[in-house]
Structure 1
């Protein structure tokens, strides 16, 4: 039976991610339960979103057949950019590219705040595929089980408004996020910084849970808002990582 994508759109914020995870838990959206087969990898396109539970699916490492840059941290997410090939640009090519990229890839360097929130801090060390996909991932722990969200988009589709976010779709935005889904996580960036609407409005919490959520948010807010790597423009933490194992 062919795999069905969990959602089609753009995952903009951690809140969007939690809405998708909660919708999957409530059976509103489907999770996938196996790896993509080779013949199914062509279905990965801009707007595709997959969610899987590690224990239920047996998936330990996600593969999609595309060639990706090393990961970079963008807020609570990891992002990757699709490459033209695996070769690392040599020093000469890198120097030449720094001179010519303003002409060839000017849109990627004259980045607005909005664009930077889509591509993060990835550099020209690798040759990015022009018009290629960006992969954005986030993992959470729920009752000892790892759950993963893998999303794909192109910068152009997002900037042109072709992909809706979960928060903009009433059927998904109205989902009440269970507090245990939120409170079991240790996010780098608290949702109070990332999303302007008070997050408690999206939680299905009792009076007993409310004070605990408030204490957690207050302490995390203080810690993260003073972090030296906080991006003052986007409210996201953007940190370069060392090269991670390449996903294929």
Structure 2
């Protein structure tokens, strides 16, 4: 069975993403190499983080990569914030089948609606440049209890080479410095950390602001 790249982790900024990517590149953390099966999807929890490589043109030769991410969860439209895309899980609904009415697959597992946070970057690997994705899940209720990169010395001490993980969004005509800041801005001291504040569906504005570091927790590592 595949496990998440890490668990109980809150991704606060693109700087955190680059640390996780670098840990995967160094084989400190595992990469997800195929689509999640039904049992693995059932293990998605607040704090679950997955890193996967997009299936490229030479996938038939290398056998590496996933065409697209599927988690079996119904999501609303995306909202953009500092290089991330955020999605809200749609409220549980019932489906009518012959012989009865059955709940959607997540209704029995949790009443907390998940939020999905995604980030995409181009990465220089020994096999050439590849497109990597990070998917992080959390809830409004869990955001303050999840751990962060700073709570794990193995991750917080990693020195990430500048420019090695280039945001795919900066390639699409957006200012590069927003998604790939220089070394001084990427130290973690001056980069604004993200917080997801409860979303008001009546408002079209994003409701993400700065927050403090959460308390330590548990992270999965191979």
Pairwise TM-score range, normalised by the shorter structure: 0.5 to 0.7
Contact conserved, 1:35 with 1:62, CA < 8 A, in 2?
A: yes
Instruction: State the partner residue of 1:135.
Output: 116
**C-alpha RMSD of the superposition:** 3.3
Asked if 1:171 corresponds to 2:154, the answer is: yes
Deviation track 1:104-163 (CA, whole Å, cap 9, x = no partner) reads xxxxxxxxxxxxxxxxxxxxxxxxx962110000000124311000000011111xx321
Change (3 A) 1:184 1:72: closer
Number of positions where the alignment pairs a residue of Structure 1 with one of Structure 2 = 163
Instruction: State the partner residue of 1:33.
Output: 33
State the alpha-carbon separation in 1 of the partners of residues 152 and 39 from structure 2: 31
State the alpha-carbon separation in 1 of the partners of residues 76 and 30 from structure 2: 28
Instruction: State the partner residue of 1:54.
Output: 54
From 162, 177, 184, the equivalent of 1:198 is 184
| CA drift at 1:21 | 0.4
State the alpha-carbon separation in 1 of the partners of residues 166 and 82 from structure 2: 18
State the alpha-carbon separation in 2 of the partners of residues 77 and 86 from structure 1: 27
State the alpha-carbon separation in 1 of the partners of residues 155 and 6 from structure 2: 10
Instruction: State the partner residue of 1:66.
Output: 73
Change (3 A) 1:192 1:77: closer
Unaligned runs of at least 5 residues, structure 1: 88-128, 203-229, 236-248
| CA drift at 1:168 | 3.5
Note the 1:233-244 alignment, pairs <5 A: 234=209
- In our comparison, the structure showing a higher alpha carbon Rg is 1
Contact conserved, 1:72 with 1:79, CA < 8 A, in 2?
A: yes
Q: TM-score, normalised by structure 1?
A: 0.56
Instruction: State the partner residue of 1:211.
Output: none
Deviation track 1:146-196 (CA, whole Å, cap 9, x = no partner) reads 1000000011111xx32111233221111111224145765457777999x
Q: Which structure shows the higher helix fraction?
A: 1
State the alpha-carbon separation in 2 of the partners of residues 35 and 76 from structure 1: 24
Note the 1:102-117 alignment, pairs <5 A: none
Instruction: State the partner residue of 2:3.
Output: 4
Contact conserved, 2:123 with 2:132, CA < 8 A, in 1?
A: yes
State the alpha-carbon separation in 2 of the partners of residues 83 and 59 from structure 1: 25
